[in-house]
Structure 1
Amino acid sequence: MTPPHHTRLTFHGPLSEARANRLVRRLAGNAPATVLDIGCGWGELMLRVLAATPGATGTGIDLDAEDLARGRQAAQARGLTDRVRFLEESATGTTRGPADLVLCVGASQALGDLSQALAELRRLVRDDGRVLLGEGFWQRTPTPAELSRMWPDAAATDHPDLATLVGLAVDAGFRPEWTETASLDEWEEFESAYLADTEVWLAGNPGHPLAEETRQRADRHRAAWLTYRGVLGLAYLTLVPVAR
């Protein structure tokens, strides 16, 4: 018996139902015929856009077979199987675009560094389309002590501040239609749900052969997020490509 995996998560990121509903209404309001989801995971947001946009088709790209399988099951349960594909492949240099709507939420690293990712997103979206970029930014510059308790080799250069992030999007050929950021409540909901299954399993299985390794991994993750809590932000940018 191993710990359950992500069963408490609806979205793989700090995204509330209320914000997701607003995003879907805004994105579906442009009536996209094609949706491309980069680093889709189980594609929850893409599936909601498709459900709100009759006739639209979607393609999700990711390297995690387990997440993709979850996405396919969700598509089947919602009657969307004939309108969506979940593909296990790299997004680097993908030929799956251009699309009317490109989603890239917490997955820009799949396209390179941030400047490269923004250039790729401009290539992958149609001139009259939209990009939803979910991207990390520093709410304030972390101290060296804080960085030492985050992810391995964490550096202040890992993320820009919000103004720089939006400026990079403009430089890449976009105008920001909408700028919003995840709230502290959304972060706490996400990070708690991310670990909840594991914590409950550890409490009930202290002698399991996998318990020590699992405990160390959970403790590292918790220590990291309690350190970047209030320091690391996530922006949701709805971007409009500038016509060429």
Structure 2
Amino acid sequence: MAGAAREPLDGVRHGEEVEDLRRRLDHVPNRNAGAPRRAPGVGWRHGRPPPPVRHPRERPPHPRPLHAREARPPRPVLGLADGDTILDLASGSGEMLCTWARDHRVGGVGVDLSTVFTDAAVARSVELGVSDRVTFVQGDAATYVEEYDGGPVDVASCLGATWVGGGVLGTIDLLARVLRPGGLVLVGEPFWTTVPETEEAVRGAHARSVDDFATLPALVRSFGDHGWDLVQMVLADPDDWDHYAAAQWLSTRRWLDAHPGHELWQEMRDELDEAAYRHVTFTRPALGWGVFALLQR
């Protein structure tokens, strides 16, 4: 699946929504995004600050409504120290890694399949003055880990893109391969707050099957069963979802206004026609999302 992504549509920008775990742990339209400013927020699928909006079918449907919180971690819990190293898989436009490098003087590498997101991440590192401490690599995340020849890292993360490891537990195993003993794994993953009872509700919540996601208790249980202790979590709330979704509606509408003759115009118009209804009917009441910090037993 990791090799199937396409590039984002030109001219459409994601927003980043929510400001409080790591500024709460793909999007606030900011000056680099070419879109109007708004309060920081979260990303969808796996981007961060000024990334373009991706086509709905570009990646598996892993929402990510926490992003701005990701910029500012609870340092006492995560124990970030000057010089710590981080590997961030599916790093998007690099907001988390760049912000942590600025605020906590950590360093590291972000890996993302998209050239557009990788270019945005490099630009963000320059903007924040951390290009000497962080590097962004365009490529497949799983392949990068398989070929990794650097030293063990202090934090290994994959937020909202656990398809890179074939699911959340496979991604934890992938991250563990580059982690130092006692290092921290961060994963971002959706979960059902209410399990859908119809196919329409499943699809409306951006899932292909009810089995795509677990409930929160089942997800937390799976971490322990897999040999990891959950030591911190940050969960999206309805406001996070609303800010995230509204940023996409606005950016999609602006793209439609700017590209009336584009070959995908009608498809994106149809998507926007149903987006708000789908959000309030299916996604908001049924789907949760969280970032989970794990230590191996």
TM-score in terms of structure 1 length: 0.86
2:200 pairs with 1:149: no
Identical aligned residues as a percent: 26
Say which SS state the counterpart of residue 177 (structure 1) adopts. strand
Return the structure number with greater relative CO, CA threshold 8 A, min gap 6.
1
Please say if residues 118 and 169 of structure 1, whose CA atoms lie closer than 8 Å, have aligned partners that are also in contact: no
Q: Which moved more, 1:171-180 or 1:227-236?
A: 171-180
Matches within 5 A, 1:206-221: 207-210=260-263, 211-219=265-273, 221=275
2:154 pairs with 1:103: no
CA deviations on 1:193-223 (whole Å, 9 max, x unpaired) are 1231221343x45843443232123345545
Deviation of 1:80 (Å): 1.0
Aligned residues: 238
Say which SS state the counterpart of residue 41 (structure 1) adopts. coil
Cα 1:209/1:41, change in 2 over 3 Å: closer
- Alignment partners' CA distance in 1, 2:102 and 2:259: 43
Say which SS state the counterpart of residue 169 (structure 1) adopts. helix
Cα 1:207/1:43, change in 2 over 3 Å: closer
Residue identity matched to 1:177: V
Structure 1 residue ranges (4+ consecutive) displaced by more than 4 angstroms after TM superposition: 220-224
**Structure 1: any 5+ residue segments left out of the alignment?**
none
Please say if residues 71 and 100 of structure 2, whose CA atoms lie closer than 8 Å, have aligned partners that are also in contact: no
- Alignment partners' CA distance in 1, 2:65 and 2:128: 23
Q: Which moved more, 1:192-201 or 1:178-187?
A: 192-201
Please say if residues 65 and 240 of structure 2, whose CA atoms lie closer than 8 Å, have aligned partners that are also in contact: yes
Say which SS state the counterpart of residue 82 (structure 1) adopts. coil
Q: 1:122 aligns with which of 157, 172, 176?
A: 176
TM-score in terms of structure 2 length: 0.72
Partner of residue 238, structure 1? 293
Aligned CA-pair RMSD: 2.5
Partner of residue 167, structure 2? 113
2:87 pairs with 1:43: no
Say which SS state the counterpart of residue 230 (structure 1) adopts. helix
Please say if residues 77 and 232 of structure 2, whose CA atoms lie closer than 8 Å, have aligned partners that are also in contact: no
Residue identity matched to 2:219: L
- Alignment partners' CA distance in 1, 2:155 and 2:259: 46
Say which SS state the counterpart of residue 80 (structure 2) adopts. coil
Name the structure with the higher helix share: 1
Name the structure with the higher strand share: 1
- Alignment partners' CA distance in 2, 1:69 and 1:124: 24
2:225 pairs with 1:171: yes
Partner of residue 61, structure 1? 111
Partner of residue 36, structure 2? none
Cα 1:76/1:206, change in 2 over 3 Å: closer
Partner of residue 24, structure 2? none
